[in-house]
Structures are given as C-alpha cells and as structure tokens.
Structure 1
Amino acid sequence: MKKLRNNTALLMMTLPGLLLLIAFHYLPIGGILIAFKDFSYSGGTFLKNFENSPWVGLKNFEFFINTPDAYIITRNTILYNLVFIVLGTAVAVALAIALKELRNQRSAKVYQTFILLPYFLSWIAVSYLFFGFLSADKGLINNLIMEPLGFHPIEWYSVKAYWPYILIFANLWKYAGYNCIVYLATITGIDPDYYEAASLDGATKWQQIRHITIPSISTVITLLVLLGIGRMFFADFGLFYQVPLNSGAVFEVTNVIDTYVFRALMNSGDIGMSAAASTFQAFVGFILVLLSNFIVRKIDKEKAIF
C-alpha cells in the first residue's frame, strides 16, 4: 500500500492504457463462445439471441479447416509473416544503427521524421499511392519507365508473380521507421564508454557495431521477435486487402486468413465461422509464443519473456 501511495501519479498515467487494454483485449474474450455456436443476429438482442443459438461444437472449425483454400491462406499467412519478422527486424535494426551513427543530430531528426511518416498513413491512402505507380494505363512505372524503354506495359493487378515482392516492400516501407524507434532508444542507452574503449583499442566502426551495439540490443530483438511469432497466424488486413485493391486475379498470393474470413463473412454472413477463425489464430499464436519462449529460455534465460 505504501508503494501504491507513493506511485499514485504514475499509476494514474497508466489508467487510460489499462482501460483500453481491458476494453479491446479482455472484454471481447467472451465472444469466443460464438465460435462454438450457430449464431445469428436475427431474432432479437444479442443476449436473447445468444441464449437461443444452438451449440454446434467444432463444426465452425471444421468448415474453416476443410475449405479448399485452407492450405493456400495458411501458407501465405505464415510465409509472409516469417519474411516480415526476419526482414523487418533486420531493416529496423539497420536504420536504428544508421540514425545513431549520424554526426549531425538535426539531420538525424529529419531522416527519422521521413522514415516514420509512412506509419501514420492509412492503408487506403497507401493503396492509392501504389495505384499511382502500378496503374496499367496511367501508372508512373509504365508511363515513365516501361514505355520509354520500349517494353510493353505491365498489368500489375493481374499478374500474381509480382505481388509477393510488392507486399513485402509495402510492409517494410510502412513499418520499418516505426519499428526502429525501439531499437534506437535501446542503442541510445548504451554506455558510450564502451565505444570509447573499443576505439582506443583500434576497433573499427563495424567491429563496434558487431561486438557492442548488436549484443547490447539482442534482448530487445529477441523480445520483439517472440511477440511477432505470437502473431504469426494474424495478417495485416489493410496490406493484403487494400493494396492489391481486392483483385481476384492475384488471390493466390494475396489471400490470407484475415482477408478470407472477411470475404466469407461478407458473402455468407457466417459469424460463427469468422469467430472460429479468430479463435484458431489466437490459440495457435499462444502456443507459438510458449514454444518459442521455451526454446529461448533453454538457450538464454535472460532473453526469455517469462
């Protein structure tokens, strides 16, 4: 109680975040029951209708798992997230190190602002930005690059081979600047005496980064990677739905669990199947976090989440 009284101001500062956490992460947990029911909004209020909704056991999960597209959407979700975790971490760390190594701090702030700006753009705005480059008849790539060089214009929204690269680039462009902030803050907290001692011993800049910077932020890298693994079965809906403009020709490489569930919900109105898919994603993510944390704990306890 003494600690609570002494830290009342700090606890009050955390109250808004705590309320948001409860409202958006804990209260919706009750909706898991919908995954095991044949639920429909027709017939009355939520509570009244919920009581009358018949239990269907695991049929909603069976429908989701047995769908013909189950393999494709699961494959896409996992592979894209693996690439995002690996490349996203590497690019964010590289950007953080580059910003820290800039001698002119004013320039560093300008660069940080520019690389952070894409994070605040909605995926709808980003989709129109990409459309300006990729449009078959008016896009900048076709008009300024392909045609002047004598190449035929490319129907970007009809050729699926290009979209894995486009989506990966879009994800890195939007999130790399935001993700590097955590690493930059960690690097800034490293004792400068380490670098001074290494410099006196004749260590090059690359050797300082390799033997001081990266080991010092390895715990933060591991933590963020583990959190990323926990969302391995969740996809960025805006990225996979808005940027390809919901083009059916490229569904094979852009369709993920989230977009599939959304389209299924819009077409059939099957709320139970949608809830089952979300529950499946959360359960698998929970297992992945436990497994990954167990492996990390066996290697180095200091870098594990718990």
Structure 2
Amino acid sequence: MEHTSHRAVRRSNKSGGFWRELSRKKGLISLAVPGLLFVTVFYYLPMFGLVLAFKDLNFTKGIWGSDWVGFNNFKFFFTSDAALQVTRNTIVLNLIFIALTNIVSIALALLLYELSRRAVKVYQTTLFFPYFLSWVTVSYVTYALLNPELGVINHILNRLGWESINWYFESKYWPSILSLAFLWKNVGYSTLIFYTGLLGIDKSYYEAAAIDGASKFQQIRNISLPLVTPLIILIVLLQVGRIFYSDFGLFYFLPADSGALYSTTDVIDTYVFRALRVSGDIGMATAAGLYQSIVGFVLVVTVNFIVRKVNKENAIF
C-alpha cells in the first residue's frame, strides 16, 4: 500500500513538473505554434489522402465511400513500358545533380571563405540570384540559346563551320544540359549553406595551423573539410531523401515536353503528370506519390545506416 502511494506521488510530481516546465517555456512554445500548425495542416492532415492509392475514386461516393481496388493503382505504373525508363532517369539524373552540385558548392564556399567580406557580398549575390528564377523563365532563356533556327548556340556553331543541331530532337545532349541548368540555378543556394558552415569554424584552428607552417590546401584538407563534414552529410541525406521527387519544372519546361527527349528527360513526376492529365486517374497519381515517399524514406534510412557504420557521430539519427 505504501509502495503504491509512493508511485502515485512520483507520477504526480512528474506531471506537475511537466506542466511547470511547460508554463516556464510558454514564450518559446507560442513561437513554435504557427510552425507546428503549418506542418500539421499541410503535411500531416493530407496524409489521410494516401487511402486514395488503394481506391477507385468516385466523386459522387466520396473518398471513404469509393470502392477499394487494392494494388491496382500501382499496376498502372509498374506494368507500363516506361516504368523502368522513368525510374532510371529519376535516379541517375538526381544522383548526378547531387554529386555535381555539392562538389562545386563546397569548392566555391572554400573560395569565398578566402575572399574579403566586400567581395563575398558581390559574389554571393551573383551566385544566389538564379535561385529565385522560375524554371518557366529559365526555359525561355534556354530556348533562345537552343532554338534550331535562331538559337545563339547554333549561330555560333555555324560561324565555326559546323552544322546546326536540332537540340529538342537529340536526346543524347540533354543529361548534360539538364545538369548544367540545375547546377547554375542551385549552386548559389548550396554554396551559401556551406559558406555559413565554414564561418562557424573557430578561427584559432587556422591561426595555429598557419603558425605551424600549414599551407592553405593543408588547412582545407585537415581543418575545413573535416569540420564541415557533418553539414555535408546532413545536406546529402536530405537530398537523397528527395531523390525520387524530381524538380518538375526542370524536367517539364526546359525540354519543352518534347516526346523525342523522353528517353533521357522523362522522370516519374512528368510521367505521372501526363498520365493524370490524359486519364484523370487520381488514384494512380496518389499511388505513384506513395511509392516515391516510401523509396525516399528507405534511401534516407539506408544512407544514414551506412554513415553510422563509418562514423557514428556524423549520423543524424
């Protein structure tokens, strides 16, 4: 009896301590409420819609009243001739984007770190500006460069004595074009993140290394890169988690939805969009979205597991 009363007292103290802690931090909690509401409304509540992946949606019956079809919605994607092609393009192109963007961004961040603060502001603005442009705008600029008859690049090729290239019918060039466009648009944003990480490194490390006679390359190899590695891993993990969510605007607007380029530019997002536009099958689109989410989650867990095996401190969970 006495033991039971002691347990009740401990539970009461824990409960009271929780509410006291909550009251003490009510200011911070009130600041977090808008963000929590946003995440709940736009990320968690829509998750109930995943049930559409297993239903044949009938608007007259509603979501819950529509007939269950099991995995039939998934069959549309996995049994189609283009399933392997769009999955391959999605994975390969996004892996290229991740590797290329991070390597170039880290290199630029290291260069910016060595410049004066006034010069950094100029270069930061120049690099960051393309990030704010929409892919629709970029697609018009690209068309002006690649237009078969009046494009700038074909005009230069003709001046050099080479034949014009019909860029929108030659799929072999587009992995490189898409990679360069993605790099140009996103490298400034990534560079800013890595540059901020470098600013957080204690300058006394560099001063001690300089006194010991370490060159700039030795400082980068032994100080900058090791200390910014956790940030690099975090960014890569987040990018890997979204590897199946391609940048729709890049793959749809830049190639101008040219059917001749589908072999190298068609990804899951553009394929599902066209299928939804033609058939209006919301269940199929939801199934594809669920497939992307599950694979993304598995990729993040797998990569994090590998990172944990190599260096436990660099893993994010």
TM-score (norm 2): 0.91
Structure 1 residues 186 and 6: CA distance shift in structure 2, 3 A: farther
Deviations 1:195-248 (A, max 9, x none): 011111111111111110000000011111111111122211010001111111
Q: CA–CA distance in 2 between the matches of 1:4 and 1:301?
A: 32
Q: Which residue of 1 aligns with 2:174?
A: 163
- Separation of aligned partners in 2, 1:67 and 1:265: 14
**Distance in 1, Cα, partners of 2:197 & 2:29:** 24
**Looking at CA atoms only, which structure, 1 or 2, has the larger radius of gyration?**
2
Q: CA deviation at 1:9?
A: 4.1
Aligned to 1:97: 110
Identity of aligned residues (%): 50
Paired letter, 1:233: F
**Paired position in structure 1 for 2:307:** 296
1:28 to 1:194, Cα distance in 2 relative to 1, 3 A: same
Listed as ranges, the gaps of 5+ residues in structure 1 are none
Report 1:1-306 matches (<5 A): 1=19, 3-41=21-59, 43=60, 48-102=61-115, 104-143=116-155, 145-306=156-317
Is there any run of 5+ residues in structure 2 with no aligned partner, and where?
1-18
In structure 2, relative to structure 1, the CA distance for the partners of 1:132 and 1:234 (3 Å cut) is same
Secondary structure in 2 matching 1:54: strand
In 1, Cα distance between the equivalents of 2:291 and 2:128? 33
Q: Which amino acid aligns with 2:204?
A: D
Say which SS state the counterpart of residue 67 (structure 2) adopts. coil
Q: Counterparts of 1:222 and 1:2 in 2: how far apart (Å)?
A: 38
RMSD: 1.4
Cα deviation digits, residues 151-177 of structure 1 (max 9, x gap): 121111111011000000111111111
Worse-superposed segment, 216-225 or 286-295: 286-295
1: CA distance, partners of 2:106 / 2:33: 31
Structure 1 CA distance for aligned equivalents of residues 30 and 50 of structure 2: 31
Query: 1:169-196 deviations in whole A, cap 9, x for unaligned?
Result: 1111111110122211110010001101
Check conservation: 1:40, 1:271, Cα contact below 8 A: no
